[in-house]
């Protein structure tokens, strides 16, 4: 897990690559390196050492001929199998997955992407052809941002690095409008900043002689349709369990200590159970969970019940309301774009705690709800993407009409003949997973720790999508297959614990402990250069209503705070 930057073009020397690297130093404090192909390219890398801790694996990394240079962020979990496959074709000098990735690209070109099981965003410079090739993993676990500016391509792992290159920080008003009007965080290629784009998940980029080309390399729908049609439930359980165990085992490959993030639900229980099946000394691995001392939200009692079965050391990380003021500014600066609120702040403290204990890798249960239909709206097919909220969390009336008109109503593909699968597909590639992965990548890397998500192994997701609806949904509950697969390892009180959509007392804190904090940010917006985006009277009315008890949802209040933190403060 690292940070990459690059400037490709004849005038690359005009851009401040050292400043770019400095701005994302937290992503890789173990080594910072640069490479220059005079007159054509500059590459930079911030290294967080996870596999092969020696200096031989530092980046930018070159092949033995010196023709190809790679900067790589992520992990290739099946690198040992790929290395064995290539042992007669390439003279390996390190034990790193970086060298394996470069070697497999040299041999197979862009076709190598389908061979990779991992999370990755990498760029490879061909100094002979003067061409750049870059790619992002199937689900976009690792970030890749870019801008084509004048005759130059600039890319990085975080948006702030592109701004540090000298690119002016102008808001993308259409994306901001969509955020306030309907809660959208933009399409897979968009960001909240004008001119700066994401390389979408499952796409690659080629840049040569001023020409930029982007193509999709991962066809998820095609992959699902190519899955074997399993109609026997017992067979599905056996295949799924085998995939689960292998996915978890692959993500234990590291040369540094590994820990767990644990909540009180089924997914965390499954992750611990699966690790316990095959990993030696699992009871010595540190686990981390957060709590707020509010019994209406805390999952700590369920976490302690889960941990009791495995005897892992449990680190209980407390978030208190007085911490929100400073922590929200810190995390806003890290995120570069709006994030999910106080739960993300609480989550960030887990990584800070792990980092303080010398743990560089944490495993998490992200991704199971989307593949096995865990959210309530999959069952009622309401079309929503909000769990546990009846009233709309959006308040477009707080905005000026002209700003509302900038927003667009995103329409998402419906490639399956199942409404449930289409909702899952939307969440996987357009809504829930993309934003959760961005939130989580930034808060993990803020503390120089790597987050691994074994349930987003592409083999698992493709297989789960291919299964009949009744394998996932039963008795008005989702994730039935997972419940049955791990039932002999996990207490039934956990496997059938209802999903809790609210994890922190954000609603109460914003209207009570933090109301002065909120008021300050509302006042800042009203006196800022962006005040014309808002309807001041309606903004004040919504805040007044919230304080008077209209607080089923706090999202619109958090939006105002987050906007002020990013754009005004």
Q: Is the bond leading into 60 cis (omega within 30 degrees of zero)? A: yes
Task: Concatenate the DSSP letters of all residues of 47-65 into one string.
Answer: E---S--SGGG-SSEE-TT
What's residue 389's pLDDT? 54
What's residue 379's pLDDT? 84
For residue 474, the cross-strand partners are 477
In sequence order, which residues have a C-beta less than 8 Å from that of residue 29 and are 6 or more positions away? 46, 48, 448
Report the 10 Å Cβ neighbour count for 309. 15
CA distance 41 to 6: 7
**Domain layout of the chain by residue ranges:** 2-218, 225-495, 506-567
**Taking the model in full, what pTM does it have?**
0.95
What is the token pair recorded at 124?
Answer: 């490879």
Closest CA to 43 of 63, 65, 14, 71: 71
What's residue 279's pLDDT? 84
> How would you label 437-456 residue by residue, b for 16+ Cβ within 10 Å and e otherwise?
bbbbbbbbbbbbbbbbbbbb
Cα separation values, 118 from 19, 279, 367, Å: 29, 20, 15
Return the CATH class of domain 2-218: alpha beta
- Active-site option among 1, 2, 51, 76: 2
What's residue 286's pLDDT? 93
Cα separation values, 297 from 23, 315, 508, 525, Å: 36, 18, 11, 31
- 97 known ligand binder: yes
Contact between 231 and 466 under an 8 Å Cβ cutoff? The reply is no
Task: Using only the alpha carbons of the chain, give its radius of gyration.
Answer: 23
What is residue 214's DSSP assignment? E
HEC assignment per residue over 67-101: CEEEEEEEEECCHHHHHHHHCCCCCCCCCCHHHHH
Catalytic, 112? Answer no
CATH superfamily assigned to domain 225-495? HUPs (3.40.50.620)
> ∠ CA(61), CA(63), CA(66), 5° rounding?
95
pLDDT tens track of the chain, all 569 residues? Answer: 799 999 999 777 777 999 999 999 999 999 999 999 988 999 999 999 999 999 999 999 999 999 999 999 999 999 999 999 999 999 999 999 999 999 999 999 999 999 999 999 999 999 999 999 999 999 999 999 999 998 899 999 999 999 999 999 999 999 999 999 999 999 999 999 999 999 999 999 999 999 999 999 999 999 999 999 999 999 999 999 999 999 999 999 999 999 999 998 889 889 988 988 878 877 789 999 999 999 999 999 989 988 888 888 999 999 999 999 999 999 999 999 999 999 999 999 999 999 999 999 999 999 999 999 999 899 875 555 555 556 789 999 999 999 999 999 889 999 999 999 999 999 999 999 999 999 999 999 999 999 999 999 999 999 999 999 999 998 888 999 999 999 888 776 655 565 565 689 999 999 999 999 999 999 999 999 999 999 999 999 999 999 999 999 999 999 999 999 999 97
């Amino acid at each position: 897990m690292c940070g990459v930057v690059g400037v490709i073009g004849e005038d690359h020397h005009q851009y401040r690559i050292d400043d770019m690297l400095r701005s994302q130093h937290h992503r890789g404090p173990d080594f910072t390196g640069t490479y220059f192909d005079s007159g054509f390219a500059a590459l930079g890398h911030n290294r967080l050492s996870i596999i092969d801790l020696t200096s031989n694996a530092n980046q930018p990394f070159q092949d033995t001929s010196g023709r190809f240079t790679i900067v790589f962020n992520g992990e290739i979990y099946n690198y040992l199998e790929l290395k064995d496959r290539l042992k007669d074709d390439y003279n390996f000098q390190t034990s790193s997955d970086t060298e394996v990735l470069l070697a497999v690209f040299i041999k197979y070109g862009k076709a190598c992407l389908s061979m990779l099981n991992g999370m990755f965003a990498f760029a490879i410079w061909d100094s002979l052809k003067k061409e750049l090739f870059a790619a992002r993993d199937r689900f976009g676990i690792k970030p890749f941002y870019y801008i084509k500016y004048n005759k130059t391509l600039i890319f990085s792992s975080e948006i702030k690095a592109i701004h540090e290159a000298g690119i002016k920080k102008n808001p993308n008003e259409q994306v901001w409008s969509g955020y306030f009007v309907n809660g959208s965080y933009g399409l897979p290629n968009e960001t909240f900043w004008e001119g700066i784009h994401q390389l979408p998940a499952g796409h690659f980029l080629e840049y040569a002689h001023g020409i930029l080309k982007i193509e999709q390399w991962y066809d998820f729908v095609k992959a699902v349709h190519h899955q074997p049609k399993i109609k026997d439930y017992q067979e599905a359980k056996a295949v799924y369990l085998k995939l689960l165990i292998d996915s978890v085992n692959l993500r234990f490959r590291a040369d540094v200590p590994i820990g767990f993030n644990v909540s009180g639900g089924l997914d965390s229980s499954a992750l611990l159970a699966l690790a316990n099946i095959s990993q030696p000394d699992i009871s010595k691995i540190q686990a981390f969970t957060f709590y707020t001392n509010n019994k209406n939200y805390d999952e700590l009692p369920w976490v302690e019940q889960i941990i009791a079965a495995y005897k892992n050391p449990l680190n209980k990380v407390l978030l208190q309301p007085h911490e929100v003021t400073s922590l929200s500014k810190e995390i806003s600066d890290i995120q570069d774009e709006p994030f999910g609120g106080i739960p993300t702040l609480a989550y960030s403290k887990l990584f800070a705690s792990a980092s303080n204990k010398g743990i560089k890798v944490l495993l998490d249960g992200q991704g199971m709800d989307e593949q096995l239909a865990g959210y309530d709206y999959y069952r009622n097919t309401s079309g929503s993407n909000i769990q546990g909220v009846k009233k709309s969390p959006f308040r477009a009336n707080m905005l000026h009409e002209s700003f509302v008109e900038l927003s667009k109503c995103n329409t998402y593909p419906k490639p399956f003949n199942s409404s449930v699968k289409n909702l899952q597909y939307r969440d996987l590639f357009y809504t829930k997973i993309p934003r959760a992965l961005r939130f989580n990548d930034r808060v993990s890397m803020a503390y120089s720790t790597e987050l691994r998500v074994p349930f987003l192994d592409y083999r698992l997701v493709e297989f789960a999508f291919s299964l009949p609806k009744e394998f996932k949904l039963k008795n008005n509950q989702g994730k039935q297959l997972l419940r049955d697969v791990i039932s002999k390892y996990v207490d039934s009180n956990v496997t059938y614990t209802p999903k809790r959509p609210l994890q922190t007392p954000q609603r109460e804190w914003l209207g009570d402990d933090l109301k002065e904090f909120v008021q300050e940010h509302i006042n800042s917006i009203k006196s800022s250069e962006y005040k014309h985006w808002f309807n001041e009277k309606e903004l004040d009315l919504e805040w007044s209503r919230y304080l008077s008890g209209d607080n089923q949802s706090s999202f619109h209040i958090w939006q105002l705070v987050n906007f002020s933190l990013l754009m005004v403060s």
